[in-house]
Amino acid sequence: MSTSDLDDLIACNLMLESLAIWRERARQGQAELRSPYISDIGDMRSLHFDGHSMQSEMNLLDPIELTIDYTRMMMGFLLFDPRPRRIEMIGLGGGSLAKCCHHLLPDTDITIVEINPAIIAFRDQFQIPRDDDRFRVLVGDGADFVAQGGSRPDVLLIDGFDEFGQPPELCSAEFYDQCYRRLAPGGVMIVNLWGGGHLNRRYAARVARSFNGSARSVPTEAGFNQAVFGRKDAKLVLSQADIAATAALFQQRQAAFLPQIGNRISRRIDHHLWERAVHLVEDRLRKAEVE
């Protein structure tokens, strides 16, 4: 398949996804998870479910580097909590987020839940750390895991996908409510949403409702993904001082992206506040005209 053919196929599937056609139609009659596979091109190793989408990517020369923009955006939780005690992740993929957290946060307890054992079987090929007393990969259903009581993570990262996109169990209003309940006070959740269209706007709205409005959606550079931030019992605010302080804590080259990510998140928050202020002024003017 040529590069242009691949680009056309990706664009086609993005369009169908935005129309809510591709996922539902493809799910009919599907009872088993499709077997994932790995491809190597030059120094890059990728994880796939099929020939038209890439689930994860690793630079063989720097396995900790985050090569895809949405993974860098999801590490934006560091700007709100640079020293979390406990992180939980739903979805392993090629382990990009897991490896970066393990590298940058040596004192943090990290648990990853992955439903597909075939994904976990690739952990050595993607140089994912072995399980120990602070790092573990569990086989299980992410929605069931979140619904359980017990742990109160400071950070909850939702990056669970199959070959059809976000499973319905991981983007329902009930699921986001359970994420909110599971988090520690002040905890941060980030959800990776893929594709465009009304479905993702609906999912982002559900996060906002579950987190009492303390949520923002930040698109990736290419626009194919968006990271939805939610914070429990705390305002989602980010100042330039916060960004600078966090960047100063992480001098590793794998964290050099934090200032740029922080500025994008901050602009998104500020834009939302500006829009809200405009709406409040408009509402007051309309009320004054009625009176």
Q: What is the pLDDT of residue 45?
A: 97
Query: For the segment 264-291, what is each residue's pLDDT rounded down to a tens digit?
Result: 999 999 875 545 544 444 455 455 556 5
Closest CA to 9 of 65, 53, 55: 53
Backbone angles phi, psi at 218, to 5 degrees: -120, 115
Supply the mean pLDDT for the chain: 84
| Lowest-confidence region among 4-13, 41-50, 181-190 | 4-13
Residue carrying structure tokens 């506040």: 273
Sheet strands side by side (includes 37-41): 37-41, 44-48, 56-59
Determine the CATH number of domain 3-236: 3.40.50.150
DSSP string, 213-268: T-EEEEE-SSSSEEEEEEETTS-----HHHHHHHHHH--SGGGTTHHHHHHHHHHH
Scan for tokens 């966090």, then name that residue.
246
User: Is 62 annotated in the active site?
Assistant: no
Q: What is the pLDDT of residues 17-69, one digit of tens each?
A: 333 333 333 443 344 556 899 999 999 999 998 766 788 999 999 999 999 99
**Is residue 262 scored above 60 in pLDDT?**
yes
Q: What is the DSSP letter of 55?
A: -
Higher pLDDT, 9 or 92: 92
The bridge status of strand 155-158 relative to strand 135-139 is unpaired
* Domain boundaries defined on the chain: 3-236
CA distance 209 to 215: 9
pLDDT in tens, 202-244: 999 999 999 999 999 999 887 778 999 999 999 999 999 999 9
**What are the pLDDT digits (tens) for 87-142?**
999 999 999 999 999 999 999 999 999 999 999 999 999 999 999 999 999 999 99
Among 187, 97, 184, which Cα is nearest to 137's? Answer: 97
**Phi, then psi, of 258 in degrees rounded to 5:** -60, -45
Looking up tokens 């979390």 gives 84
* pLDDT for 220: 86
Catalytic position from the list 159, 162, 270, 283: 159
